[in-house]
A and B are shown apart, each in its own frame.
Chain A
Amino acid sequence: MKQYLKNTFDGIFTVLVGMKVTFKHLFTPAVTIQYPDVKVKLPERVRNRLYVNMDDCIGCDQCSRACPVSCIEIETVKSIPGEDLGITSNGKKKALWVTKFNIDIAKCCYCQLCVFPCPTECIYMTDVYEFAEYERSNFLYKFATLTDEEAVQKKINYEKLQAEKAAAAAKPKPETPAQTENKPE
Chain B
Amino acid sequence: MYQFLYDLIGNEILAGLLVAVVPLTIILVFALFGIWLERKVSAHMQDRLGPMRTGWHGWLQTVADLMKMLQKEDIIATDADKTLYNIAPVLVFTGSFAAYAVIPFSSKLLGSEVEIGLFYVIAISSLVVAGILMAGWSANNKYSLLGAMRAAAQIISYEIPTALIVLSMVMFTGTLSLDKISQMQTSSFWNWNIFGGAIFGLSKFLLIPFMIVGALIIFTSTLAEVNRVPFDIPEAESELVAGYFTEYCGMKWGMFMLAEYGNMFAVSAIISILFLGGYQSPIGYLGNSIGTQWLVPFEQGFWFIAKGLALVFVQMWLRWTLPRLRVDQLMTVCWKYLIPFAFINLIIIGIISLI
Residues of A within 8 A of B (CB): 7-8, 11-12, 15, 18-19, 21-23, 25-32, 34
Contacts and interface: CB of A to CB of B under 8 A. Distances in A.
B217 to A, nearest CB: 11
Interface in B216-252: 216
A23 B314 CA distance: 10
Interface stretch (B79-87, B117-125, B316-324): B316-324
B337 A8 contact: yes
A53 to B, nearest CB: 37
Contacts of B333: 11
A7 B336 CA distance: 11
Nearest to A18: B321
A28 B49 CA distance: 11
Interface residues of B, number: 18
Contacts of A26: 41, 44-45
Contacts of B44: 25-27, 30
A22 B320 contact: yes
Contacts of B52: 34
A11 B52 CA distance: 36
Given A12-B216, A26-B41, A31 B47 contact: yes
A13 to B, nearest CB: 13
B347 interface: no
Given A19-B317, A21-B321, A22-B320, A11 B337 contact: yes
B322 A18 contact: yes
B317 A30 contact: no
A17 to B, nearest CB: 9
Contacts of A21: 321
Contacts of B43: 30
Contacts of B71: none
Interface of B: 41, 43-49, 52, 216, 317-318, 320-322, 333, 337, 341
Contacts of B45: 22, 25-26
Given A12-B216, A15-B322, A22 B317 contact: yes
B333 to A, nearest CB: 8
A27 B317 CA distance: 13
9 contacts: A8-B337, A12-B216, A22-B45, A22-B320, A25-B47, A26-B41, A26-B45, A30-B43, A32-B48
Contact of B48 (A7, A27, A31): A31
A15 B321 contact: yes
Given A8-B337, A15-B322, A34-B52, A23 B317 contact: yes
B224 to A, nearest CB: 14
Contacts of A25: 44-47
Contacts of A31: 47-48
A179 B333 CA distance: 98
Contact of B49 (A12, A15, A22, A34): A34
A34 B50 CA distance: 11
A30 B48 contact: yes
Contacts of B48: 30-32
Question: Closest 8 interchain pairs by CB?
Answer: A32-B49, A18-B321, A22-B321, A30-B49, A22-B45, A25-B45, A26-B44, A31-B47
Contacts of B337: 7-8, 11
Contacts of A22: 45, 317, 320-321
B54 to A, nearest CB: 13
A31 B44 CA distance: 10
A18 to B, nearest CB: 4
A8 B48 CA distance: 33
Contacts of A32: 47-49
A22 B337 CA distance: 25
A28 B45 CA distance: 8
B58 to A, nearest CB: 11
Contacts of A11: 333, 337
A22 B319 CA distance: 10
A40 to B, nearest CB: 15
A32 B318 CA distance: 23
Contacts of A8: 337, 341
